[in-house]
Structure formats: structure tokens, C-alpha cells
Structure 1
Amino acid sequence: MDALKESWKAAAYKLGNHGERTIDVLKQVLLSVDDQIESDMYGTGAVIEDFEKKMAEVLGKEAAIFFPSGTMAQQIALRVWTDRKGNKTIAYHPLSHLEIHEEDGLKMLHQIHPILLGEEDRLLTLEDVKAAAPQISCLLLELPQREIGGQLPTFEELETISRYCREHGILLHLDGARLWECLPYYNKTAAEICSLFDSVYVSFYKGLGGIAGAILAGDYSFIAEAKPWKRRHGGDLISLYPYVLSSDYYYEQRIEKMTDYYESAKQVAEQFNACSGVKTIPQIPVTNMFHVHFSKPAAEMAEILTALQKETEIGFTGMLKSQGASACSFELSIGDAFGKIPKNQWREAVQDLGKRTTPSD
């Protein structure tokens, strides 16, 4: 896998995301703003407060608060809601970020107890929610569901779940780490989607490519209760302006490109699916992010991709995840980088991939 990673890093072009995450990501931001703008201090000041107001409006909520990380923002959101309801039991998908990537922070720091709804390989449904409803104070939905290829429920299904939660006194929180990427598929504004939820978190480094940073939004009382918890978590750094400025800059740079990324993702997925031994999940992406699966072991596929990346100068991926003994996969998010690959060069590279993944007689 080391050789795979090195060949990916050395490639002149990258298939996914927006390009290398170097310090130039910040440099471009700072070159675009007045260097006399006053820094924020401990969560106050125009540079941070203006951005919070802007995002509250974009998301259709009364207020918003900027966090250095989504992990912090979401744990605090669930703490506020469970305290308000006097019930520490919540529910989310078995492959939620909070369950598999946060070292049980929700449980250890806040004594919040999650029920895992549905099955790992599918979206959770209204029937799953109904089964857990008597026990839970809050439901967290992730849009899109990253670990199963960025799948999304229909908007009608979302409306049905939202209506059921409100009728049964269940608070509904949106893990919108990749909310921006959902907008083209739903053909809705962020505010229209967020209107179905009591609170929402969004990220500014995933699909948008900023340095780091997150917004948590909701009504005035919710944000007022979240603010002390941000201080308790150490989230009120003396200054957060590098994160705030990069969040605002890359939001403005890329929010209008989401449809282009989405259309390119569908094109790329179609080309992968035309290769023998390769498939995407979903087959037709619903966002600019999806998973690419190979019917070969990870070690064998790493050798194939390493050679391909060196020869074509196109970086497909720097890592592979084993899917049992005879298959593997990688996650792909289409962004600005794909548009820089010469079309003929890309077409030839994916055709070459198909030849190398075709089983020999």
C-alpha cells in the first residue's frame, strides 16, 4: 500500500477532490482579504459573527455558531437535545461517524446512549424509526450516508420521517457534513432541506475544501444552550479566523459548482461500471461522492493501480479498503481536480484500467 500511496502522490493529476491539501489552501484565502480585518477573539468579533449570521440565513435557521470541528459540534447538539428532553437515548445509523470514528466520545463525555437503527448496508427507514420511537429523544440522520457510498433517501421519505418525529416529540438533527453535495440531487436549497430538521451541522472542509471548521444551526434557544458547551469543550480558541475565512472563501468559490461535480461523478461512475470487475455504489451516484469496488484482493489491486498511476500520471487513489479476501474498494469525491485532467488522457486511463481488471482466461 505504500507504493500505491507514493504513486498517487507523484501523479500529475488527481481524480478526486480539489487537489493537494497544502498550505496554499490558506495562502489563497489570505491573499483575497484585507489584511487589516480584525481577528475574532474567543468566539466574538465581526469576522466570525458575520459568517455565523450568513450561514444561519443559508440554512434557514434563526442562529448559528462556528466550531473548529464537526465532532465537537454534533456531540454538543445531541447533549443539548437530550438534556432538554431529559432522555439520554438517541438513535442513528450503525455506520454513523459518531459510532465508528469518534472513539465513543458521545458515550464517554456525555453519557448519551445511541440505538443503532437498521442495517449497515442500507439507509435507515421510517419503519426503523418507528421501532425505536418509544425509547429515543433525538434521531440523527446523515445526508448523504457516507459509509455506504453517499446514498440518499428520497426527499419524500425525509419529509415522512420529519413529520413522524414532530408528531411523536422526537427531535431531529441533521449530520450535514456533506449537505452541500446533496443539493443538486434533491433540487432543493439548503434551507428547504434543513426546514425538516430541528438542528443541523455542516462542514466546510469536505466537499468545499476549506482548512477545517463547522457550523451548527438551529433556533435561538438551541444555539444559546450550545455556546457554553463550546467553551467547555475548548472550542473557543483565542482566534478561529483562519478557519472562518477559509470556510467563507471556499463556500463562495465552490457552492455553485456542486451541480458540475455531480454531473461529472455520474459520468465517471458510468466509465468505471463499463470496466470488467469494477462497480460503483451506488451504480448511479446521487452526489459527487461514491465508492468504487474491485473484484480483486486489495494487494493485487494495489499493484495494478500503482503501475497504472505511474504510467498514466493520473492518481486514482492512494488507499484501498479490503472487502473480504477477494475484493476491495475506495471512496471517490469529484471536485475541481477532475476538471484539470485532459479528457483524452482520462478516457485512455480508464480504458486501460478495464483491460487490467478483466479476468484472464
Structure 2
Amino acid sequence: MSDNTRQRRLAALSACDRILSGTRPATMRDRLADMEAGGDLDGRPDFYGDGPVTTLEERVADLLGTEAAVFFPTGTMAQQVALRYGADRTGRSTVALHPLGHQEMHERHAYAQVSGLRSVWPTTAPRNPTADEITELGEPVSTVVIELPLRDAGFVLPTWDELTAVSAAARAIGARLHFDGARIWDSTPHLGHSLSEIASLADSTYVSFYKTLGGISGAALTGTAELASYARVWRHRYGGDVFQQWPAAVTALAGLDRELPRVPDYVRHARTVAAALSALPGARVSPEPPHTHRFRLWLPYPAQALNDAALALAEEEKVWFAAGWQDTDVPGIAMTEITVAAPALAWTTKEISEVAERFLSRAAR
């Protein structure tokens, strides 16, 4: 996407009165309002991780029921530390990853390039590995990574019984279990258990503060006090011990207060939205019903036609349907990710169908 197209799309989305997928882009003034909501701005800023950063760490550790949590500027850094910790503690340089997982798809293989680790794939199926697949790994591994939900497979989750079985299987082969929980906030409705119950199955969990929660940036690595002590040392060595990070911390606290309680509503309404979209001619939704408030939608049109239609609808009617379409391996079929958040909650099935009809009529021109 060219810079001009991106700016035009952002401007159109910002001006929309109604949004089905996603949220209105935040301005810097919006971020300042989040800071007001997330903490006492008359207090002192953090100094290398105290103050509001410590408050956030304690809040997250309490939510996930862990001994400690350590703030990181990025999730990529947090996950490298988690994998390095496992390798150092077990003496094993191999980790079990999914080929669609974040470490393989979006971190430029930092675990290998920076830490000298190597990976083995328990499965290539578009889902997280099963307990049997963990048990049948052909070599010892230091850490088994499970991404909750597995984003690049379509935001899919295991069942609670499947997840508990994977936890037991990882321990049985002498491996640590690490949850890539960037979007673990979205996972509680499908799994039917609290954040602390989910995190209790793993030795460590990474969470993101801008995914779902809408913070500026930042992440946390949670686990034992020993892991936290190790993580603080390696955070410094990786260059992540930043002088002040209070803006990220207070917007994360605001997100925990505002967005986290609404996630169950988002997930419930995502099922309504998905059902309405799956009824469109030639449409396919996956997973159906959605496991979280995000899912994938395929339509029988070229991506360019759908992106142009989304932009035209936004500029002409001030209604945002869905954009970010990408062509697939099947000619004439495009896919996008749908995110059901606060702006979508007011949409009825009838309204979704009516707007979809106008959207598709533009795509067919």
C-alpha cells in the first residue's frame, strides 16, 4: 500500500460515523486522554521502571496469578528472553514452535539470529499442537510455545481440555511451556476460564498492551520471581531498560480498566457479525463461530476491488465496512481479518446485511 493510499484510508476511517471492523484511529490527543484515565499525572514518572511501570507490573501479575511480571518495550524482546531462559535452565537449544507462530512469522527469527536457538515444528496444521504431537517430538526441547490465539491460523484456540493436556505433555517431556499471549485477553470466553487459570498452565506468559487493550505500546513477561529476575537482567542487555516508559504504562492501565471488561461482549457480538457475513454470496468465515472477537472473511472478488469498495463506501457514506483485503492463492478470492470492537456493538444483523449489499455492489463495478 502506498503512503498516499494509507493516509487516504486513515482519513476516511477517522471521518466515519459507523465502523463495523476495527476502531477509529487514535490521535495524539486521544492518547493524552488515555493517560489522564490511566494514572495520576501529577505523580512522578518512572525512573528505569519504577512508579507507574511497577504499578502496571503488579496489576498484570495479579490478573494472571503469577509471582511477578516484567514490563518490556516490545513483545519480540519479551519472547526472546522467555526462550533464552528456557534454554539456559535446561541446557537445550531447541524450542518447539508453530510455523504460523509469531516467532516464525513476525520476529525475523530473532530466537535463532540473536540467541542461537533452533526450532522444531510439532505440527504444520493451522492450529496449535496437540498433546500427542508434543509427546511425539523427535528430540528434547527446552520450551514449547503455544500462541493464544494462533493469529495467522485465523485467531484459533484449543479447547480447555486440549490446552490442559498440552500443559501436562510439555511437563512430561521435561520442557517449559510458554504462552504467546499477546491476545490472551481475548481467549477467556472460548476457554471458559479466567486469565489466572489459563496462565497457571504455563511456566511463562507474554501479554501485549496495545493488542486488544489499545495502549500505546509495551508488553509484559509473567512467571516466577526467578524468571522475573533473569528477565530484568536480559531486558537491560537487549537495550530494553528505557529511562521512562510511563506513557505506555498509564495507557495500558487505562486499557485494562476500559477494554478488558468489554472483551466478552466483543466476542459474543463477533458471532453475530460472523453469521451475518457468512450469509453473503460466496462468503466464507473462519473459524465459524469465531473463537475470539477476531476472525477471517473470504469473498469472491479481487482484493483491489474490495479495498476500493471499502474506501468508496467510507468516503461517500461515512460507513466503514472492512478493508485490508489480500489476494489469496485462489484467483478472484480475497481475505481480510475482521475485528469486532466497541464501534461494532450497535450493528444489527439486518444493518450488516444492508451495508454489505452496498459494499459488494461497489466491488462488482
TM-score normalised by L of structure 1: 0.92
Q: Could you say which residue in structure 2 is the equivalent of 1:288?
A: 293
Shift of 1:357: 7.0
Q: Stretches of 4+ moved more than 4 A in 1?
A: 1-5, 340-347, 354-358
Name the counterpart of 2:342. Answer: 336
- Counterparts of 1:328 and 1:343, CA distance in 2: 23
The one-letter code matched in structure 2 to 1:10 is A
Structure 1 residue 147 displacement after superposition? 0.7
Give the Cα–Cα distance (whole angstroms) in 1 for the partners of residues 176 and 147 of structure 2.
Answer: 14
Deviations 1:29-73 (A, max 9, x none): 233343321111112x23222221221111011111111111110
Q: 1:42 pairs with 38, 42, 48, which one? A: 48
Partners of 1:41 and 1:259 in 2: CA distance: 36
Q: Secondary structure at the match of 1:34?
A: coil
Superposed displacement of residue 340, structure 1: 6.1
How far did residue 144 of structure 1 move? 0.5
Q: Which residue of 2 aligns with 1:349?
A: 355
Counterparts in 2 of 1:201-220, with a 5 A limit?
201-220=206-225
Q: Are residues 1:159 and 2:164 paired? A: yes
Judge conservation of contact 1:176–1:201 (CA < 8 Å) in 2.
yes
Name the structure 1 match of 2:146: 141
Conservation of the 8 A alpha-carbon contact between 2:276 and 2:352 = no
- Aligned pair 1:266/2:304, yes or no? no
**In the alignment, structure 1 residue 72 sits paired with structure 2 residue 77:** yes
Tell me, what secondary structure is at the counterpart of 2:144? strand
1:4 and 1:306 in contact (8 A); partners too:
no
Distance in 2, Cα, partners of 1:218 & 1:255: 21
Q: CA offsets per residue over residues 284-337 of structure 1, 9 Å max, x none?
A: 101001111112222333333333333432223342222123211111221122
> Partner amino acid for 1:304?
A
SS at 1:110's partner residue?
Answer: coil
The equivalences for 1:28-177 within 5 A come to 28-32=33-37, 33-43=39-49, 45-132=50-137, 134-177=139-182
1:126 Cα deviation from its structure 2 partner: 2.1
Report the identity percentage.
Answer: 31
In the alignment, structure 2 segments of 5+ residues that lack a partner are none
Deviates more, 1:289-298 or 1:314-323: 314-323
Partner secondary structure for residue 259 of structure 2: helix
What amino acid maps onto 1:268 in structure 2? V
Aligned residues: 358
Q: State whether residues 94 and 120 of structure 2, in contact with CA within 8 Å, keep that contact through their aligned partners in structure 1.
A: yes
TM-score (norm 2): 0.91
1:166 to partner: Cα distance = 1.4
Q: Secondary structure at the match of 2:310?
A: helix
What code does the residue aligned with 1:351 have? E
Alpha-carbon offset, residue 345 of structure 1: 5.2
Amino acid across the alignment from 2:198: I
Query: What letter corresponds to residue 191 of structure 2 in structure 1?
Result: Y
Indicate if the aligned counterparts of 1:277 and 1:357 stay in contact, CA closer than 8 A: no
- Deviation, 1:15, is 2.3
Q: Conserved in 2, the CA contact under 8 Å of 1:56 and 1:64?
A: yes
CA 1:117 to 1:347, structure 2 compared with 1: closer, same or farther past 3 Å? same
* C-alpha separation in 1, matches of 2:306 and 2:142: 45
Aligned equivalents of 2:317 and 2:10: distance in 1? Answer: 11
Pick aligned residue for 1:327 from 310, 333, 339: 333
Partner of 1:250: 255
* Partner SS state of residue 191, structure 1: helix
Cα offsets for 1:248-282 (capped at 9, x unmatched): 11111111101110111111111110101211111
Q: Which segment drifts farther, 120-129 or 137-146?
A: 120-129
Q: Helix, strand or coil for the counterpart of 2:55?
A: helix
Higher relative contact order (CA 8 A, sep 6+): 1
Asked if 1:236 is matched to 2:236, the reply is no
Q: Does structure 1 retain, via aligned residues, the 8 Å contact 2:270–2:340? A: yes
For residues 185 and 340 of structure 1, what CA distance do their matches in structure 2 show? 22
Indicate conservation of the 8 Å contact 2:294/2:339, yes or no.
yes
Residue in structure 2 matched with residue 200 of structure 1 by the alignment: 205
